[in-house]
Structure 1
């Protein structure tokens, strides 16, 4: 008689159940494209922008939590280097974008009266600050995790191993992945596309050096948090 088998851990059961409904590819793609789709819808209904932003933040966060068992385990090695790189990143992002806006008409932001200013658009004050808190938390926590999982975990490895991205390791060197992901990253950053290409090469270099997706997430979070501080201090809403 064989011994009774040990019950499988709940996490393993959940992973098997999820994989029966969601492919590994879709797990990475779904949160990112849901966020992008809701961003596009917000552009069609500018008066509802704060509502759409709150919805997309909640939807993306919910999808990340739900699909978490399907993601490759994140290594948090070199997180401290991610902080340093994130600080360098804000000193690259803001000055470079300001210089481009000042010197090239192509990069100029929309007129100030067309840029969303929460102080003017959201009342009462407590609701305005609640939305700003959601905006900061989304930009500093949800977006870095969602984007790094998609860009530098999934798409990077998909370029290296197109038949099965899991055959490639996180941070594996391939010039096509390094360049291609940085260029693709710029596509979704609108007026900041050239600035974001440079930043994309920086975070890509961090990934290659550390082989740590966690370090890239920390870099992204640090840059975004400092950008939020810049926007709120100078009220330069075009950067949001």
Structure 2
């Protein structure tokens, strides 16, 4: 979050290109996830979803993507994004290094990082402070609603974020496996990235 604030506060024409702060975020977050991977019990191999659960996750992820790109009316937005990512050079040509960096971060790292925080930790912590003892399938409506509300506050497209948060929470509670939410989140972000690149709708990045 600190690096996100830094990226949004740096001038676009300054000495340091703020877009490369995202690359720094990818390295730091990716490194931290790898370093602590053994601590994430919910992401252990035995907790991988079966084929049916995986297909559900992919379907939900695609559905959330479809809704996300249409839930962008002015009244559905909380202010304006302060750190849009426009991967174009001074001549307006696509910088594929920036594209690859952004897509890897959004499609591979963000889903793991955010689902560990929003669903695995926060949603279960709201249910009970000793969150690691909470069975995901026993999480109540209060925890789902409150964690989704906070998730919404971290996104500009508030209605799209509510839809996404509830969808990922539903997968997690229904299956009891965090991987289902991670996969759906990754599919949403991956599809969104491909769509942004194809359409040039950089405001969604």
Structure 1 runs of 4+ aligned residues shifted over 4 Å read: 105-110, 121-125
Query: Which sections of structure 2, spanning at least 5 residues, go unmatched?
Result: none
- Rate the CA distance shift 1:131–1:148 in 2: closer, same or farther, 3 A: same
Deviations 1:71-128 (A, max 9, x none): 123222112211111011111111122xx23xx3966757xxx954222458986xx2
Q: Where in structure 1 are there 5+ consecutive unaligned residues?
A: 1-35
Aligned to 1:182: 148
The question of 1:173 aligning with 2:139 is answered: yes
The number of equivalent residue pairs is 194
Contact 1:109 1:238 (C-alpha < 8 Å) held by counterparts: no
Structure 2: distance between partners of 1:177 and 1:45: 36
Partners of 2:178 and 2:70 in 1: CA distance: 26
Corresponding residue for residue 62 of structure 1: 31
Note the alpha carbon deviations across 1:151-195, whole angstroms, 9 max, x for none.
110111111111x21121234321121101111111111x21221
> Aligned residue for 2:106?
139
* Structure number with larger C-alpha Rg: 1
Report the Cα distance in structure 2 between the residues aligned to 1:154 and 1:108, rounded to whole angstroms. 27
Return the alpha-carbon distance in structure 1 between the equivalents of residues 176 and 77 of structure 2.
36
1:153 counterpart SS class: helix
1:85-100 to 2 correspondences below 5 Å: 85-97=60-72, 100=73
User: If the length of structure 1 is used for normalisation, what is the TM-score?
Assistant: 0.74
- The structure showing larger relative contact order (alpha-carbon pairs under 8 Å, at least 6 residues apart) is 2
- Cα-Cα RMSD: 2.2
Matched, 1:228 2:193: yes
Q: Which one of the candidate residues 107, 110, 121 is aligned to 1:154?
A: 121
Q: Show the counterpart of 1:24.
A: none
